[in-house]
Structure 1
Amino acid sequence: MGDPSQPNYDEPIVPDENPHGYDDPAFLTESDVASSTQSLSSSVLNYQYENGRRYHAFREGEYPIPNDEVEQDRMDLNHHIHRLVVGGDLYRAPIDPSEMRILDLGTGTGIWAIEMADEFPGANVTGTDLSPIQPGLLPSNCRFEVDDFESDWDFSKPFDFIHVRNLAGSVRDWTLLIQRIKDNLNNGGWVEMVDFDGGGIYCDDNTGQKAPNIQDWVRFQQESSRSFGKDLDVAQYHKRWMIEAGFKNVHEEIYKASHLFVTIQVPLNPWPKDRKLKELGRYEQANMMDGLEAYSLALYTRVLGWTPEETRAFLAKVRREIVDRSIHLYTKFYFVYGQKDEGE
């Protein structure tokens, strides 16, 4: 028997019979500016401003997504969506984190690391990011470091579990990154890689024909991220890359019967009839409304040569399609985990 509180992923998503046209756009509120947990040089805190958004200073230009308060709120919402998708879990790998040494790469606001530390007070949790935007009030077993995971790693000892989430569009060399992860795991340690599908937006009926701007947005995202050197369309390759790196017990998390390759359908707005999927769609709509500019503005202006005005005008058209409940679109999340061989 499945969990009755969760959507039934075996069944096709049924559209709401009374979509009520359009939703009002959902914009996230700004939070207080987060303080760093360590003493930082002024150069790290000398954030860069571009087209009205704030970006990291450390390794300037390497990450095309803002770090300002609007984006921090969106990242926290995105964390909530990930937990909803998997029934509230913080991880899917078959581990007992109670006394583990844990690393969270690209920790962002640090919310995942903080919640892991709270839930497992015997664990030791470290989060790394280019931006020191994490809060200052932390569990005693949680710490944050400003670091670039694409530079040489210099940790004092290996980890038992390394968590990698939403790094699509942030990595130039995934093969090298996965090898570094493996080199910094204890024998028998686990890695979990979680990401959205950067390869497309999906539809199981003909309503997707009414969303040409969303389809163009996906195409422009792929084109600009590849030209930037950090492809967004990578989630589908995580399993293969981990196997090629020598990880054992590699799995893509599944949510339907016993299939070996299944991804979760996440509606872009509250169009489904199912109550839980409708709730998930409301959150994902809010996530997309702010995420459009976060993921597009720097890439379009730096790589495609668009002006900020052209970019924002185009994204306004995309937003109008996202909130239209008569368009039944969804995206996919990938959860992939694997283990370093006990004998290495």
Structure 2
Amino acid sequence: MADASVGADHDDENATPYSAASSQTVSVAQNVSMVSWGSGSAPSLPSVDNDSQADTHSISESVRSSTVSLDSSLYHFVQENGRTYHRYKEGRYFLPNDTAEQERLDLQHQLFTIAIGNKLNIAPIPDNPQRVLDIATGTGIWAIEFAIQHPESEVIGTDLSPIQPQYLPPNCKFEIDDAEDEWTFSAPFDFIHGRALMSCFNDPRAVVLQAFASLRPGGTMEWQDALFPMSYVGEPPTAATSALCRWNELMLEGVSRLGRSWSNAQHYKRYFEEAGFEDVVERRFYWPTSPWAKGAYFKTVAAYFQADMLAGLEAMSLKVLGVLGMTPMEVREFVEEVKRDFRDTSVHAYLTVTYIYGRKPQNPR
């Protein structure tokens, strides 16, 4: 989260800047035809492939070699169940921040970009927007890649965990901050980006309002997030017969007890419109849990989504299912059952992901 050589941009005394320089990121080489979905602005719902293992081996191999570990700054973290968690505002975010989780987040970054044709965003924005903000930036990989692709933009990323690399592009910096606190940036932004926010905020509507106020007239915001629970092609299973179905139900119950909701993404479009955004556009994409779906696009997305979830299921589940009374051992045993469903091509499950953007009017009321 923080940069250093360029100094802190944020006026909040709790925001902690730290050092920066230059960096490189790794992107996945993809055949354009592999990640295209034909006509239209988004892929239609996936359909079942009766030969689901065809052409999946090479895709899986590319997934395994697609991420890069990023050196993180040396900070003290909270240790629990063999994982580490953020110290600043301890407990606000219930996923870990250790090396394993950072590598998963970088893999997840590839998934979000591949799903939309190897792009960082779908919103129409200028070539080099002057000031760009990435909230809940995680490892900072989106902000870093955006800064590299837009060298004339000033890119700022904020997060609760200081897990970003020390060496950055000169136009990129990070700050430790909570997007649910009052925003006190010294100047407005031209583009605000947020991704995988469903576990981050108690009140995402309030964050949308603060973001709207922090944009220049004519500025754009884009959020990318998942719609839980997962859906199915064909007759859905029940919690009694499917570990994956049971996991979805238990996770929704657990996050509710933690004071959060994993159903907020379905309301993002309304939040944007109520805040005052114009020309709000929502595009939905679909991530199969395994290569059960037809077509190279869906098989590629499925390979990345499955790898992301197999790596992250335990981390996602430990605290959330723990509040329901499950011990760490019980959680880990249950997670292994859920992983089997993720690998099972007879389970035709998929996650719906929304990419939504809107523009602040030139003359806001």
TM-score (ref. length: structure 1): 0.87
**Contiguous gaps of at least 5 residues in structure 2:** 1-31
Structure 1 residue 305: deviation in Å?
Answer: 2.0
Amino acid paired to 2:273? I
CA distance in 1, matches of 2:286, 2:357: 19
Q: Which of 169-178 and 104-113 deviates more? A: 169-178
Q: Which residue of 2 aligns with 1:94?
A: 124
Amino acid paired to 1:201? M
Within-5 A mapping of 1:204-243: 204-206=233-235, 208=237, 212-243=242-273
Change (3 A) 1:190 1:119: same
Q: Which residue of 1 aligns with 2:181?
A: 151
CA distance in 1, matches of 2:336, 2:45: 33
Q: Which residue of 2 aligns with 1:192?
A: 222
CA distance in 1, matches of 2:52, 2:216: 53
Q: Which residue of 2 aligns with 1:80?
A: 110
Q: Which residue of 2 aligns with 1:268?
A: 289
Supply the RMSD in Å over aligned alpha carbons. 2.5
CA distance in 2, matches of 1:34, 1:297: 25
Q: Which residue of 2 aligns with 1:287?
A: 308
1:215 aligns to what SS in structure 2?
Answer: helix
CA distance in 1, matches of 2:33, 2:185: 43
1:149 aligns to what SS in structure 2?
Answer: coil
Is 1:55–1:67's contact at 8 Å kept on the other side of the alignment? yes
**Contiguous gaps of at least 5 residues in structure 1:** 37-41, 254-262
Aligned residue among 51, 59, 65 for 1:17: 51
Change (3 A) 1:32 1:203: closer
CA distance in 2, matches of 1:10, 1:33: 35
Structure 1 residue 35: deviation in Å?
Answer: 2.9
CA distance in 2, matches of 1:70, 1:245: 37
CA distance in 2, matches of 1:323, 1:10: 23
Q: Which residue of 1 aligns with 2:347?
A: 327
CA distance in 1, matches of 2:207, 2:297: 36
Is 1:14–1:274's contact at 8 Å kept on the other side of the alignment? no
CA displacement 1:259-300 (0-9 Å, x = unmatched)? xxxx21211112223122112211111111122112111112
Is 1:85–1:264's contact at 8 Å kept on the other side of the alignment? yes
Say whether residues 1:310 and 2:330 are aligned partners: yes
Change (3 A) 1:211 1:141: farther
Q: Which residue of 2 aligns with 1:50?
A: 80
Aligned residue among 227, 230, 233 for 1:201: 230
Change (3 A) 1:139 1:51: same
Change (3 A) 1:211 1:162: farther
Is 1:15–1:328's contact at 8 Å kept on the other side of the alignment? no
Structure 1 residue 33: deviation in Å?
Answer: 6.1
TM-score (ref. length: structure 2): 0.82
CA distance in 2, matches of 1:321, 1:16: 17
Q: Which of 273-282 and 119-128 deviates more? A: 273-282
CA distance in 2, matches of 1:61, 1:242: 28
Is 1:252–1:335's contact at 8 Å kept on the other side of the alignment? yes
CA distance in 2, matches of 1:266, 1:250: 23
Within-5 A mapping of 1:163-178: 163-178=193-208
Amino acid paired to 1:329? A
CA displacement 1:217-273 (0-9 Å, x = unmatched)? 1111111111111211211110011111111111102xxxxxxxxx21211112223
Q: Which residue of 2 aligns with 1:115?
A: 145
Structure 1 residue 12: deviation in Å?
Answer: 4.4
Structure 1 residue 7: deviation in Å?
Answer: 3.1
Q: Which of 57-66 and 242-251 deviates more? A: 242-251
Amino acid paired to 2:356? V
CA distance in 2, matches of 1:233, 1:11: 20
CA distance in 1, matches of 2:64, 2:324: 27
Is 1:103–1:159's contact at 8 Å kept on the other side of the alignment? yes
Structure 1 residue 14: deviation in Å?
Answer: 3.1
Q: Which residue of 1 aligns with 2:136?
A: 106
1:98 aligns to what SS in structure 2?
Answer: coil
Change (3 A) 1:319 1:11: closer
Q: Which of 210-219 and 92-101 deviates more? A: 210-219
Change (3 A) 1:48 1:328: same
Structure 1 residue 31: deviation in Å?
Answer: 6.6
Is 1:225–1:231's contact at 8 Å kept on the other side of the alignment? yes
Q: How many equivalent pairs are there?
A: 322
Structure 1 residue 16: deviation in Å?
Answer: 3.9
Q: Which residue of 2 aligns with 1:259?
A: none
Structure 1 residue 159: deviation in Å?
Answer: 0.5
